[in-house]
Amino acid sequence: MADFVIGVDGGATRTRAVVLTLQGRELAAAEGGPGRVDAAGSEAALQIVRATATRAVAEAGARLPALALCAGLAGAGREAERSAAESRLHALGLAHRVLVITDAEAALQDAFGDGPGILVIAGTGSVAWGRAESGTVARSGGWGALLGDEGSGYDIARRALRAAARAADGRGPDTQLLPAVLERLQLAHPDDLVAWAASADKGQIAALATLVAEIAEHGDDVARDILERAVRDLVAHVEVLIRKLGPWRSPPRLAATGGLVDPGAPLPQPLFEAARRLGCAALPRPVRAAIGAAHLALRLAARAGA
């Protein structure tokens, strides 16, 4: 019988897998490509989950199947996607028992366990989840690129591209975003942005958010305004969850994870500063959604009688 479990965090940009002993000790971890599932087809993402988990298990010196696997996957918010992903991952032979949840639920578990708190996720997309002291869970955001994703990398990059286009026309203020974007994308002329944007996927567009942060650091007002707008949008999610999940007997804890708000990223400091003004207490460590998923896998194994 296997004596380890696997936790997976699958997002729109990358997938992370971690292997834990049944006592909770971390043995190994691995990283792969995007692990987002959706109704249009999830096989490619689930194959990335399989490959990433397999590498982590090999690094741990173990052999599949694991006793249990919990995969927190972006796009798994509906029962249909969760059930289909669970069946497929079980069929791939990764574990005797498989549980699929959202990546946000996995991150919330690592941040707060079963306790209360608010988690902001801001990477390619954006969403906030919170748990009240009563155990009630609520969400703000998570509506996708067309209806939401405010404060995300995709949102920041899209605003930057629009600002660059307006600057090229003379309809908007001059900004270093225009020449910087052209250089980063190796485009010769602003008109070339049309074809690039039409062919780029969400992740490729969102990757430009780091460039916006670089330009803002050099004093560009347009880039700085875009980042400030992103922070306001993320804080709005926090405000909603404070109201929805209150009253709070103690200051709500706030955690953040994702490419924009992880340590060293552009937005964690202004986000936490704004949240402190709302009365929140910042979680003083990074969030690892794969670890949260692995701890839920340990529970799954325990229920199975391990």
pLDDT tens for 98-146 read 999 988 899 999 999 999 999 999 988 899 999 999 999 999 998 888 8
pLDDT at residue 209 greater than cutoff 70: yes
**Based on the domain organization, do 231 and 135 belong to the same domain?**
yes
More confident residue, 203 or 96: 96
pLDDT at residue 43 greater than cutoff 80: yes
CATH number at residue 40: 3.30.420.40
Give domain status of residue 107, yes or no: no
Distant-in-sequence, close-in-space partners of 198: CB < 8 Å, separation ≥ 6 = none
- Please answer whether residues 190 and 164 qualify as being in contact, where contact means their C-beta atoms are separated by less than 8 angstroms: yes
Question: Is the preceding peptide bond at 266 cis, omega within 30 degrees of 0?
Answer: no
Count of structural domains within the chain:
2
Q: For 58-87, b where at least 16 C-beta lie within 10 A, e where not — what string? A: eebebebbbbbbbbbbbbbbeeebbebbbe
Q: What is the pLDDT of residue 125?
A: 87
**Based on the domain organization, do 63 and 137 belong to the same domain?**
no
Percent of the chain residues past pLDDT 90, beyond the cut: 75
**Based on the domain organization, do 62 and 146 belong to the same domain?**
no
From CA 53, how far away is CA 7, in angstroms rounded? Answer: 8
pLDDT at residue 172 greater than cutoff 90: yes
**Based on the domain organization, do 132 and 234 belong to the same domain?**
yes
Give domain status of residue 306, yes or no: no
pTM, full prediction:
0.84
Only one residue has tokens 């924009």, namely 260
Predicted confidence band of residue 202 (pLDDT cuts 50, 70, 90)? confident
Q: For 192-215, b where at least 16 C-beta lie within 10 A, e where not — what string? A: ebeebbeebebbebbbbbbbbbeb
More confident residue, 227 or 76: 227
